[in-house]
Structure 1
Amino acid sequence: MTSTPGRGLLHLAAAVDQTGADSADSYVELARLAESGGLDFVTLDDGPSPPGPDALRVLARAAPATRRIGLVATVAAGPAEPWLVPAGVAGLERESRGRAGWRVREPARAAVLPAPAPPPAEEAPSSRDPVRVVDATDPPDRAAAARYADVALVRVAGSAQAGVVRTELRSLAAGFGRNPDALRVLAGLVVDLGDGERGSEQGWGAPLLAPVRGLGRGGRRSAARGPLFRGGPVDLAELIAAWHEDGTADGFHLTPVDPRRDLERVVNGTVALLQHRGRFRTFYPGGTLREHLGLSRTGARLRAGGG
């Protein structure tokens, strides 16, 4: 696998959230599907229980059923017992042997996760340091993302805007004393791959992206926010390659409108095409999420205490 000249390696992730899922098995199945395509990680949002999933518990079920893919839980750190979430994430990190991540629901709390203890000798040296993922779409949240995150997610409707935000985040990271290359910036897209390819239409790129505030048809994901991509797997591969070549994003976090249909088309269509063109890896470079992302243990990230 080679990177695009002048750019880092392409990174891809996907949400596996579903409506109406009645067991952890359906989430595990999607995680295994994403792993078959070599995606860096999957995300799962914590929901009110019932009916929503307990993200940490579900991903703990996925850990022994997968071998390489990162498992990132979106969980809020409650003000009453803020240590509960970091403890849960640390447990997932142990169970997955270095593949866990925490998508921080409130960016201001990104510093909550404590510094990791040195791993035992039998563990991978890059384990025991869960990856922090922060949504940096809103400008007030970008400082926290730049200071504490390993991965920043941005939901923007165009390549130029993505590039502006990525440049801002890297500049802020440098201002906090971090190496900007220790921060991965992924563009967030809601993807609907049910309408077929549109690449033959003139100006196909522009109409495929549009703002979306609510989705929900049958088993499809509801209340998704961010730009909507509607087209086919080839169209999506072209967009991903173009944005990455422009240096406007280090990769993409994809939220399928219909998780089962769209993730399968992402893996067997979009990813397969990117791999065929040498744009995306065909194997995992290591066993931990940090290794997939090309990040060192703790990187140059500042901790809550400034260390």
Structure 2
Amino acid sequence: MPHLAAAVDVPEGEDCAELVGLAERGGLDFVTLGGAGDVVGALAEAAAVTRRVGLVAMSVEGAGVVGLDRVSGGRGGGLVSAEGCGSGYFGFSGAFSGAGAFPEARVASGTGLSPGACPLRVVDAGDPAVWGFAARYGDVALVRVAGTGEARAARERLRALAGEAGRDPDALRVLAALVIDLGDGERAAVPGHGGGGPRASARGPSYRGGPVDLAELIAGWYREGAVDGFHLTPVEPRRDLERLVNGTVALLQHRGLFRTFYPGATLREHLGLGRPVQASR
């Protein structure tokens, strides 16, 4: 079944917990939150009122993500990048160089990570230049692609790079990043936004239309082996997430194409991932 995640980027000062709860009711794998505010604090508050949905911070330091994973019972994760990873960051040991790679990528002994604290590593892989990094060290790679052919090529290349790095390619999930505008309700997708693929926009690949056609897009891409799932960024979080969960996700569930309950308790379990294994140099 496809993996689904959604951004809950409400304006600074607004509570995202309600949206996180809505995502959990829909069975989404995880939500992401970015911005300049107290991202970890907001997600920790959401963790207190949810039980299963994953919580991924997109703009914080590694120590905060490790803490989030602990307080949420193994549901935490964060964005990692080649530039941001230094010694001990997010469980990494060593430093990244553009010409090479990390001397080591492992759960470093100095971080104090316990078996219950192993945050998910999400890499923004919109730029092919970082695919090597994503394939070697990421658990989830977010790609920006405009059609199934481009998506499949990206996924196959990332999996091949993971294998070259000594990893099991099945330990990497490739999700298509898609901006969604469900303001048209049940209307068909705007021409060019559904069916063959989303339309390019300033924010990246974008879908504008109704929940039903979005469900068709998700199911179609997954059936063709183009991606492992989607990371969806609503144009209007409160409106679009409600329509995503009660429309798109409900339809996928009705067709047996998406979970109706969480079989596991941690984010890694939702994604079918184990603890990260050190890649070969």
User: TM-score normalised to the size of structure 1?
Assistant: 0.80
Partner Cα separation in structure 2 for residue 130 and residue 139 of structure 1: 24
Q: 2:162 aligns with which of 173, 191, 195?
A: 173
Matched residue, 2:76: 100
Q: 1:11 aligns with which of 3, 7, 10?
A: 3
1:190-218: per-residue Cα shift (whole Å, max 9, x none)?
Answer: 000011344499887358721111xxxxx
Q: 1:54 aligns with which of 17, 24, 38?
A: 38
Aligned-pair identity (%): 58
Partner Cα separation in structure 2 for residue 62 and residue 176 of structure 1: 36
Matched residue, 2:54: 70
After superposition, where does 1:87-236 map in structure 2 within 5 Å? Answer: 87-104=63-80, 106-110=81-85, 112-114=89-91, 115=107, 117=112, 119=114, 127-199=116-188, 205=194, 209-213=198-202, 225-236=203-214
How much does 1:22 deviate? 2.4
Q: 2:237 aligns with which of 259, 266, 273?
A: 259
Q: 1:35 aligns with which of 20, 24, 44?
A: 24
Partner Cα separation in structure 2 for residue 208 and residue 249 of structure 1: 13
Gaps of at least 5 residues in structure 1 are 1-8, 48-52, 77-84, 120-124, 214-224
1:30-84: per-residue Cα shift (whole Å, max 9, x none)?
Answer: 100100000000000131xxxxx221111111111110000000125xxxxxxxx
Matched residue, 1:122: none
Q: Tell me the amino acid that sits aligned with residue 90 of structure 2.
A: L
Matched residue, 1:243: 221
Q: In structure 2, the residue corresponding to 1:209 is in which secondary structure? A: coil
| C-alpha contact (below 8 Å) 1:110/1:134 kept by paired residues | no
Q: Residue 207 and residue 241 in structure 1: after superposition, are their counterparts in 2 closer, same or farther (change >3 A)?
A: closer
Is 2:13 the counterpart of 1:22? yes
Gaps of at least 5 residues in structure 2 are 92-106
| C-alpha contact (below 8 Å) 1:94/1:128 kept by paired residues | yes
Q: Residue 16 and residue 200 in structure 1: after superposition, are their counterparts in 2 closer, same or farther (change >3 A)?
A: closer
Matched residue, 1:279: 257
How much does 1:267 deviate? 0.3
Partner Cα separation in structure 2 for residue 228 and residue 171 of structure 1: 27
Partner Cα separation in structure 1 for residue 233 and residue 28 of structure 2: 13
CA RMSD, aligned part only? 2.1
Q: In structure 2, the residue corresponding to 1:280 is in which secondary structure? A: coil
Q: Tell me the amino acid that sits aligned with residue 211 of structure 2.
A: P
Q: Residue 93 and residue 202 in structure 1: after superposition, are their counterparts in 2 closer, same or farther (change >3 A)?
A: closer
| C-alpha contact (below 8 Å) 1:28/1:62 kept by paired residues | yes
| C-alpha contact (below 8 Å) 2:66/2:119 kept by paired residues | yes
Q: 1:292 aligns with which of 231, 252, 270?
A: 270
Q: Residue 204 and residue 143 in structure 1: after superposition, are their counterparts in 2 closer, same or farther (change >3 A)?
A: closer
| C-alpha contact (below 8 Å) 1:110/1:149 kept by paired residues | no
Matched residue, 1:5: none
Partner Cα separation in structure 2 for residue 196 and residue 158 of structure 1: 23
Q: Residue 182 and residue 200 in structure 1: after superposition, are their counterparts in 2 closer, same or farther (change >3 A)?
A: closer
Q: In structure 2, the residue corresponding to 1:18 is in which secondary structure? A: coil
How much does 1:133 deviate? 0.3
Q: Residue 86 and residue 102 in structure 1: after superposition, are their counterparts in 2 closer, same or farther (change >3 A)?
A: same
| C-alpha contact (below 8 Å) 2:187/2:210 kept by paired residues | yes
1:99-148: per-residue Cα shift (whole Å, max 9, x none)?
Answer: 000112x34435732116563xxxxx5x2100000011101111110010
